[in-house]
Amino acid sequence: MSDQPLLRVENLAKNYGTRIGCADVSFELWPGEVLAIVGESGSGKTTLLNTLSAQLEPSSGQALYRIRDGNFRNIYDLSEAERRFLTRTDWGFVHQNPADGLRMTVSAGANVGERLMAVGDRHYGRIRDTALDWLGRVEIAADRIDDQPRSFSGGMRQRLQIARNLVTGPRLVFMDEPTGARRFGAGAAPRSPASARR
């Protein structure tokens, strides 16, 4: 484990006019660590994730990300090109609504393969084999690789979105209710936590 956090958030806030989306958020996230942000519907979880992932600009505060050279950079000071680079290489984002994180009119395999191509893979056979492997990891049958996500159930779409994000081994993954569309068997239902957990 590293001797420095991957992400350091300091006094982050996001307001929508006079409405508070999130306020005074501070924490450190270390490599390999999982941090759950929990709360009631409308409590600002999605706002916080969108702000942390630079999809929204904060009203105040900063989020310092340790880039690959070991230096911390405030993600809100990065250029648009630098942010795009991070979203293709270092970060993944699993959206609450799978349609927001997938290309619905290209195949499941292409959804996974696009992320591989974004990091430089160009060998079609290797891309397809990797996509098949990841579809299997998220319990999508191999014979669905050429099907478009619009023909998938909500749970399958969410699993495909997870595979699409994890295939490149990102250093940081933001997940906005990643199990919301999944069905859970008896005894496997997620708990309803009352506070943030590590």
Taking only the tens place, the pLDDT of each residue in 76-113 is 999 999 999 999 889 999 999 999 999 999 999 999 99
pLDDT tens-digit profile of 19-48?
999 999 999 999 999 999 999 999 999 999
CA distances to 27, 38, 148, 177 from 41, rounded to whole Å, are 22, 9, 30, 11
Give the mean pLDDT of 189-196.
35
User: d(Cα 178, Cα 174) in Å, to the nearest integer?
Assistant: 9
User: d(Cα 116, Cα 149) in Å, to the nearest integer?
Assistant: 18
- Give 178's pLDDT tier (boundaries 50, 70, 90): confident
Residues 171/31, Cβ–Cβ less than 8 Å: yes
Torsion-angle region of 98 (φ positive above 0: left; ψ -120 to 50: alpha; else: beta)? alpha
To the question of pTM greater than 0.95 for the whole model, the response is no
Residues 104/114, Cβ–Cβ less than 8 Å: no
